[in-house]
Structures are given as C-alpha cells and as structure tokens.
C-alpha cells in the first residue's frame, strides 16, 4: 500500500482539490483508493458533497467509539472510499489534533487498512505543523502542490529540507513524488517565468510535468460538492489533467517502489 501525503507550507494552494481529483483519477484507473481527510476543517468531504461533520470518522476512531473499517464512506466509484475527520467541533480541533498526532496513532490506523487499499491519499491541513509532520512520518510518499509565484523558490527549498529531515530522523522510506504546479495561469507572464526558473533550478523531475491550470470550474465544483458528477458524467478536458497527473504519480510509484532517492541532495 502506498501512502501519499499531500502537503504544503501554504493553505489555499489546492491540496484538497488535488487530493480529491487525483483520488478520483487513480480510482478510475483501477486502483483501490482511500481519501483520508486530516484537516479538521473538513473541506474534503464538503467538496464531495458529504454532509459537514454529520458522520463518524477519524475523530470517533481516535476515541475508540468506532472501528476504522466501519467508518469508511463509499462513493459512486466502488474503487474510491473516503475517511472523513468525523464529528470534530470547531472548539475541539486542538484535542482532535493532539489525539491524531499521538505517537503511532496514524501509523496504527493505516496498518489496519493495508490489505484494503492500493493507495491512500492524506489530505493535510495547511502548513508544516504537527499533523503534517506525523503524516510525513507515516507516509511512503509526498506530493506537494505549489503556486508559481515569486516566493515559490524558497518554499521548494524548505519542503525539500523537511522531507530530508523526516527521512533522516523518522522515516527512511519517505520518497518525494514531486511538486505539482497548481492554479497555474498561463496568461500571467510572472507565473510562466517562475515555472521556468523552477524547472531549471530543480532538475531531475522534482517539479512534475503535469500542471493544474487555474479554472473557475474547480471553485464551482467545491461549492456544489459535485466533483464526481463533473468527472464521471461528462468528463471535461480538465479531468484529463488529473488523469495525466495520476499517470505521472503511478509511474513514479512504480519506478521508486518505496526506495529513498537522491534527487534532493
Ligand atoms: P488547500 O487544500 O491547499 O487549502 P483547496 O484545494 O481547498 O486548497 O483550494 C482553495 C480554493 O481554491 C478552493 O475554493 C478551491 O475550489 C479553489 N481552487 C483549487 N484549485 C483551483 C484551480 N486549479 N483553479 C481555480 N480554483 C482552484
Ligand atoms: Mg485543504
């Protein structure tokens, strides 16, 4: 089972949108896929049109009220399941995060899913804080969305350093799949320039070839909670962007097969 941590320093860069649509594309390609929501804000389930905090999920597993196998949510695609944060009251987010980041908690949950799924995507909260750190410790791989903007170069350096540190100190198998440019606007010369600099400065495929364009349809899809309809009934060209990303990710999973790589030395 591959566990891909979708993480970035910044919020609002497309982590949830990418987790969701990549999860759909991986499932459509025949992989038993689990979307695991680690952000207590619950936007993954909201974007899927699943009622906000209405069903048990991770929070209930953490308290021992539910077994993890009983709280996996089905979707229209039989290959795709979702594990929501569960009933996390906005005032108890700190307690939820503390329970989730207890030593061995996340790893223990994932080990119970080992035979059920080929790929688990961990949709992390914004920032490289405790939840993301634990997710990186429990994962086999990292995928990081990045917006092409002037400070992006620095963010890449920080991310690579963090991945190196987690690999050295806690999780030797952690492998960087790559950085995916998100909300990319070809009309903006500055974005193109930053992207070119990134591709040149970080060779060896650290910046993935697949680029997610900025498009209003993502905003509409999150508001309506209908990415499944969007993807399955009438797949627009944008769905193909995620099929492409899924191909890139699957290629890397195959070629890396869990071995740590040297790309960021
Ligand atoms: P994060 O999980 O990193 O906070 P989200 O995926 O929730 O980011 O995206 C933040 C907001 O931007 C959401 O309203 C989402 O619908 C919108 N969004 C995400 N990706 C795109 C995109 N490629 N084009 C336009 N809007 C996007
Ligand atoms: Mg998010």
Q: Where are the domains of the chain?
A: 2-255
pTM of structure: 0.93
Distance 145 CA to ligand 2 centre (A): 11
Q: Write down the CATH number for the domain with range 2-255.
A: 3.40.50.300
* Closest of 194, 186, 176 to residue 260, by C-alpha: 176
Distance 125 CA to ligand 2 centre (A): 6
Confidence of residue 222 (pLDDT cuts 50, 70, 90): confident
Work out which ligand 1 atom sits closest to the CA atom of 19. 6
Work out which ligand 1 atom sits closest to the CA atom of 212. 23
33: left (phi over 0), alpha (psi -120 to 50) or beta: beta
Distance 60 CA to ligand 2 centre (A): 21
How much is the pLDDT for 227?
65
Specify the residue with its C-alpha closest to ligand 1, atom 7: 16
Tell me the ligand closest to 17's alpha carbon. Answer: 1
Specify the residue with its C-alpha closest to ligand 1, atom 14: 219
Q: 46 or 2: which carries more pLDDT confidence?
A: 2
Distance 224 CA to ligand 1 centre (A): 14
ipTM reported for the complex surpasses 0.90 = yes
């Amino acid at each position: 089972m591959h566990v891909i941590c979708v993480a970035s320093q910044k919020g609002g860069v497309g982590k949830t949108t990418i987790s969701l649509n990549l999860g759909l594309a991986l499932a459509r390609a025949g992989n038993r896929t689990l979307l695991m929501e680690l952000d207590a804000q619950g936007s993954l389930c909201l974007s899927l049109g699943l009622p906000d905090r209405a069903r048990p999920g991770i929070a209930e597993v953490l308290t021992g009220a539910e077994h993890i196998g009983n709280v996996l949510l089905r979707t229209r695609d039989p290959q795709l399941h979702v594990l929501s944060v569960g009933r996390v009251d906005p005032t108890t987010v700190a307690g939820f995060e503390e329970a989730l980041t207890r030593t061995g908690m996340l790893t223990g949950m994932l080990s119970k899913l080992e035979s059920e799924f080929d790929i688990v995507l961990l949709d992390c909260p914004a920032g490289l804080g405790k939840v993301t750190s634990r997710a990186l410790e429990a994962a086999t791989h990292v995928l990081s969305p990045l917006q092409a903007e002037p400070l992006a170069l620095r963010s890449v350096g920080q991310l690579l350093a963090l991945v190196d540190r987690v690999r050295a100190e806690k999780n030797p198998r952690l492998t960087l799949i790559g950085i995916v440019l998100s909300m990319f606007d070809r009309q903006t010369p500055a974005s193109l320039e930053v992207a070119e600099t990134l591709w040149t400065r970080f060779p060896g495929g650290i910046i993935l070839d697949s680029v997610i364009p900025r498009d209003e349809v993502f905003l509409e899809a999150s508001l309506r909670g209908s990415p499944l309809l969007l993807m399955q009934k009438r797949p627009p060209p944008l769905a193909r962007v995620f099929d492409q990303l899924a191909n890139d990710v699957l290629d890397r999973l195959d070629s890396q097969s869990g071995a740590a790589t040297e790309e960021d030395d």
